[in-house]
Amino acid sequence: MPPQSSTQATTAKAALVTGASRGIGRAIALRLAADGYAVVVNYAGNAASADAVVAQIEANGGQAIAAQGDVADPADMQRVFELAQQTYGRLDAVVNSAGVMPYVPIAGGDLGEFDRVIHTNLRGSFIVLGLAAQHLSDGGRIVALSTSVIGKAFPNYGPYIASKAGVEGLVHVLANELRGRNITVNAVAPGPVGTELFFNGKTEEQIAHFVSLAPLERLGQPEEIASAVAFLTGPDGSWVNSQVLRVNGGYVF
């Protein structure tokens, strides 16, 4: 066995976060780094944003690398997982945050957009969760991002809701498939969160409507979703398994 690099030798724990160059994924990467994880910042296309996340983590005294890869491409993600192992010598947590959210009606809806959201959100989750199961050390943590909009059935959210309902199904099945390895598999389902992905394509009136839905009468912040992920990947989440944690300010179903 070749000797470990100095990076591997000094890494206490390591995490891979997909879709980590912006929005909720970025907040998760920063929070896990603050919690002591060395972080692999996965991104699809925006290298500058991913590098900025790495630079921020390093400026705060943490360890991070950027790794390009499309979550729906198995070869890309195999390479990303291997890079994580080669760089840090271990992998203790995987958070699949990458996703897209088009607005498509079911009647007469654009099949190309339907295929795109299923490709990234559901196929991507299937690939990432499967590779996580293969690469994680025993006792590791897997978290997938779902959505609280599943319970609302808003018009034009059909393909997005279908993709995320599938993600929740995968979480429950994988938790059972990993019996005996002490690996937890959970989902975090945010309500409306003030990110670029959320604001894109919405009018001021639509945004105000979403703000009014929860009893707290505001949008969530990416850091609040990251806190929930940190709970599931930290010591206090060790007995939580095969659950969907709906972090939504009281967004009633």
Which residues have a catalytic role annotated? Answer: 160
DSSP 199-229: HTT--HHHHHHHHHHSTT-S-B-HHHHHHHH
Query: In sequence order, what are the residues at sequence separation of 6 or more whose Cβ sits closer than 8 angstroms to the Cβ of residue 247?
Result: 148, 188, 189, 190, 191, 220, 224, 225, 228
What count of residues does the chain have?
253
15 three-state secondary structure:
strand
Which two tokens mark 11? 């890494």
- What are the DSSP E strand ranges found in 49-183? 64-68, 93-96, 141-145
Separation of CA 199 from chain center:
19
Contact 25, 19 (CB under 8 A): yes
Q: Kindly state the DSSP code that residue 193 receives in the 8-state scheme.
A: B
Torsion over CA: 144, 150, 156, 158 (sign): positive
Computed from CA positions of residues 153, 155, 159, 160, in that sequence, does the dihedral angle turn out positive or negative? negative
CA atoms of 15 and 5, how far apart (whole Å):
18
3-state secondary structure of 91: coil
